[in-house]
């Protein structure tokens, strides 16, 4: 079984566990997100899927992505632009975001993931996730 098929199998199981119907639209939206090398917005996913599913509305894409995120199937990456970007990668990682072209790149930072949190943060409550977002200008934009 290849990686895509394995992710789709896990997605189907996650839908069943969450009590969600595994509809054609949900499967296509998730599949497109898995195949995306970037971190697409809802608008970008909608544009990519319109050829396959002409009746797919942008509202359906937004609602579907929100449902997936609420059930922990995908992650929404908050950016400075008005639209969120989405990814399937759930393993701990962080993001570099270019302030010019809005490209997002994942990176690992194990020492940050394992660092002891300051006391003030520990007293805040329960920490479920650590995510660092670093903003700057990517090499392509600097060279261009």
CATH topology of domain 94-143: Dna Ligase; domain 1 (3.30.1490)
Annotated binding residue at 101?
A: yes
Distance (Å, whole) CA 91 – CA 17: 20
Annotated binding residue at 15?
A: no
- In this predicted structure, what is the pLDDT of residue 1? 66
Domain residue spans of the chain: 3-87, 94-143
CATH topology of domain 3-87: Arc Repressor Mutant, subunit A (1.10.10)
Give me the half-sphere count of Cα atoms (radius 13 Å) on the Cβ side of residue 66: 7
- What does each of the 144 residues of the chain score in pLDDT, given as a tens digit? 688 899 999 999 999 999 999 999 999 999 999 999 899 999 999 999 999 999 999 999 999 999 999 999 999 998 877 678 999 987 889 999 999 998 999 999 999 988 988 888 878 888 888 889 999 999 999 998
Annotated binding residue at 138?
A: yes
Sign of the alpha-carbon dihedral angle for 84, 47, 100, 95: positive
């Amino acid at each position: 079984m290849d990686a895509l098929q394995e992710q789709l199998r896990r997605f189907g199981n996650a839908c069943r566990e969450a009590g969600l119907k595994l509809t054609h639209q949900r499967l296509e939206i998730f599949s497109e997100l898995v195949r995306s090398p970037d971190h697409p917005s809802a608008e970008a996913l909608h544009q990519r899927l319109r050829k396959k599913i002409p009746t797919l509305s942008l509202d359906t894409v937004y609602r579907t992505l929100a449902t997936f995120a609420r059930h922990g199937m995908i992650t929404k990456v908050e950016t400075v632009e008005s639209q969120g970007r989405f990814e399937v990668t759930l393993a701990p990682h962080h993001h570099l975001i270019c302030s010019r072209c809005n490209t997002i790149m994942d990176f690992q930072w194990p020492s940050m993931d394992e660092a002891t949190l300051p006391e003030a943060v520990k007293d805040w409550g329960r920490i479920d996730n650590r995510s660092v977002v670093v903003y700057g200008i990517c090499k392509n934009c600097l060279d261009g």
